[in-house]
Structure 1
Amino acid sequence: MTKILFLIPTLMHGGAEKVLVNLVNNLDSNKYEITLYSIFDGGVNKEFLKCHVKYRYKFKKVFRGNSQLMKLFSPKFLYRFFIDEKYDLLVSFLEGPAARIISGCNQPKSKKIAWIHSDTLTKNLGAVGFRNFAEAQQLYHKFDLIAGVSKNVVHSFEKTLQPKVPLQILYNVNETEKIQQLALERIAYPFPENTVNICSVGKITGNKGFDRLLQVHKQLLEEGLFHQINVLGIGEDQPQLEKRIKELGVEQSFKLLGFHKNPYPYMRRCDLYVCTSHREGFSTAVTEALIAGIPVLSTEVSGAKELLGENNEYGIVTENSTQGIYEGLKTLLMHPELLAHYKKQAVLRGKAFSKEKTVKAVEQLFDSLLHE
């Protein structure tokens, strides 16, 4: 049986963490012996691991300065410290520290994949988790393959890091049937009637652009375009966002609903899903919204046009700016027939990202790499 190890920093509430759990749960357990290694234990996604997946961790809790501390040691030392076992295939499931550790494996028969989830548009972004850009470039060359979650992610990595190894696009694995089933669960939250309910899911951090969404919300209300925003998530920028919501006097129409293990019933009850991020690799939440049959508006981040179409066939892609979000949202609020159209298109597009298709693509890649 093929032994595969996936390394990730944590299994906290994040898109990549959720996608990894979906992937390892659905890989063929008759072909692969799967180990998921989290550098730090815990996280909301840990409990969703199926029993056949082996789970390992090094540290019980995340500690401050861990990334800087790891840079003091060589990748070979880190590999021996963290893993030091033989695997047929080693997968670093996030760029940065996990990739640096896996690059330290010098077992000649072990294959190594670096799975990239974010745009590396600059040398600074490419060097995250490494001592410097030169080290990042050198260590990524030690992998047998670089996998990226979207065309943009692959192209930006290729342009910035200029790797001497093959690159491949692998779309995220989503629990399609489970999402559709969970979306039917009853919830007690009182969504207002006779208004457009809009939702967004994600960590409340600067990158997600919820401050931009808040600004647009206020502007549209002032123009008489009534709607309610429902944000599902928690994060370090929540206190600042809450303060700004109060300053603008929109507590009744811009709701922070916190983290929910099952966000899908909330999403299903809404008329529109919005992604206002500054940067994404390939938005898990947007993919899930399409699977759940919800119309989507997204800023032009990596993967947005792959999901929603080059010409807005399956959803609306706006300029990545506050003005772009404002114009896109205003168009949909003023033309309810467009929302009805994109609801049908979301159902259609969601089928393209079925669990079966994405898992099969990963298994085919693994098998071809292992049998070279």
Structure 2
Amino acid sequence: MKQKIIILHFNMELGGAESSLLGLLDTIDYDRYDVDLFLYAHEGELMSMLNPNVRLLPEMKAYRALTESMKQNFAQGCIPIGMARAAAKVRCALSGGPMQSGHNYKQYFHKLCIPYLPDIPGDYDLAISFNDPHYIVGKKVSAKVRMSWFHTDASQMVFCDAIEKEMWGMSDYVVNVSDACKQAFDAKHGYLTNKSIVVENMLSKNLVQSRSAAFSAEREMPSDGSIRLLSIGRFCAAKNFDNVPDICRRILASGCNVKWYLIGYGGDEALIRQRIQDAGIEERVIILGKKENPYPYIKACGLYVQPSRYEGKSVTVREAQILNKPVVITGYATSASQLEDGVDGVIVPMDNEGCAAGIAAVLRDEALRQKLTENTKIRDYTNAGEIEKIYRLLENV
């Protein structure tokens, strides 16, 4: 008899966690496991890429409300969710300190919503909550084992210990996406080291390669003699795209002919556009926006750049390496776990001047770029073997 797994996530918007989820779903052995996917909202560019072996559970109005604004909550009759959102905002604003962070607001908001959310039907051997907050997997799912994912670098975050202890206490395992992420998480959550494990992001090589050939990106990223740089991610502080205009300006000043393309969306878009305008390089830093299929754009670029302030383990860097692209990342805290510096990628300084100089040096060194490309061809970036860690945890269930 097959064991039953349920996976919970918000939606399938373009993002690293969502790409990692697709990889996990493509790696599971469906001859051994029945897998249900519960998305709070059935939306996002990546919905069409869900593995057909997965059973997508029906959407529930109360859960969809978690992904919507307070105004939408009240307009659509989800009054308790709207009230919980308002109460969480007020509490966090008045409390000050760590409660004022967006991360802690979201945790507290979900906690307040629990009484107003229906149970998710079914009994499962394993329940996976693929992105925090994790109250729902603990309170609304019947499962023998619960695993909750943490995708980022905890060293860069401020936590409210009372909320964290309650939330993580409902899970049997806390999953970090790299050894460096586990070390950072354990340093902030010493009481959870017995639950903290590593399961690296799993990616589907066949999916990435086949999707990269779906169409040509030439119209939006024309071959005009410039070297095409590309960065993908949410437009938020962590990704550091707000500094791309200044970094690009410095690269251009060094004599390199580049155009830097940005794929993604998010709250920092207006800031990024303003800084592009301030730098006077509207023709050199180009926002392409959200893309359902980003892989043809990766295929078209000459250099993939991840200029982040902090990361867990960037999925898009791995996807670029699967497509045999030379990559450059900034020296964020977990960067050494992302690639081997000088072998299958290059790590450059975080500050704008050092970052620009590092990228320019890579652009001038054709032999280095070729070496980086060749080394990606002999390495496995799918991490397909990571699924065995999950299987082993289910052996005695």
**What is the rounded CA distance, in whole Å, between the counterparts of 2:187 and 2:120 in structure 1?**
31
Alignment match, 1:343: 373
> Take 1:2 and 1:225, find their aligned partners in 2: how far apart are those partners?
56
The aligned amino acid for 2:170 is: K
Among 123, 128, 131, the residue aligned to 1:94: 131
Question: Normalised by the size of structure 2, how large is the TM-score?
Answer: 0.81
Residues 105 and 244 of structure 1: is their aligned pair in 2 closer, same or farther, counting only changes over 3 Å? closer
Counterpart of 2:40 in 1: which secondary structure?
Answer: strand
Query: For 1:183-222, what aligned pairs fall within 5 Å after superposition?
Result: 183-184=212-213, 185-189=215-219, 190-222=221-253
User: How much has 1:27 moved relative to structure 2?
Assistant: 1.1
Q: Give the match for residue 281 of structure 2.
A: 250
Instruction: Pick from 71, 88, 112 the counterpart of residue 111 of structure 2.
Output: 71
Q: What residue is the counterpart of 1:313 in the other structure?
A: 343
Answering whether residue 154 of structure 2 is matched by residue 137 of structure 1, we say: no
Shift of 1:220: 2.1
Distance 1:228 1:344, change over 3 A: same
CA deviations over 1:147-195 (Å, ceiling 9, x no partner): 1111121111111112053332211121212212332343342523433
TM-score by length of 1: 0.87
Kindly report the root-mean-square deviation, in angstroms, between the aligned alpha carbons of the 2 structures: 2.4
Percentage of identical aligned residues: 22
What is the aligned counterpart of 1:58 among 60, 63, 88? Answer: 60
Point out the more displaced range, 134-143 or 8-17: 134-143
Q: Measure the CA separation in 1 of the matches of 2:352 and 2:145.
A: 44
Alpha-carbon shift at residue 229 of structure 1 (Å): 0.8
CA distance in 1, matches of 2:329, 2:240: 11
Letter in 2 for 1:277: S
Cα distance in 1 for partners of 2:56, 2:388 equals 20
CA pair 314-104 structure 1, distance change in 2 beyond 3 A: same
- How far 1:69 sits from its partner (Å)? 4.1
Which of 316, 319, 327 is the matching residue for 1:296? 327
**What residue is the counterpart of 1:371 in the other structure?**
396
**Other-structure match for 1:261:** 292
* Counterpart contact for 1:182–1:262, Cα < 8 Å: yes
Shift of 1:294: 0.3
Matched, 1:272 2:272: no
Q: Which sections of structure 1, spanning at least 5 residues, go unmatched?
A: none
Measure the CA separation in 2 of the matches of 1:225 and 1:115.
41
Paired residue total: 354
> Aligned with 2:292: secondary structure?
coil
Deviation at 1:303, TM superposition (A): 4.5
Q: Which runs of 5+ in 2 are unaligned?
A: 71-84, 86-105
- C-alpha distance in structure 2 between counterparts of 1:330 and 1:122, whole Å: 28
Q: CA deviation at 1:50?
A: 2.7
Matched, 1:110 2:150: no
Distance in 2, matches of 1:178 and 1:52, equals 15
Quick one: distance in 1 between partners of 2:332 and 2:112? 34
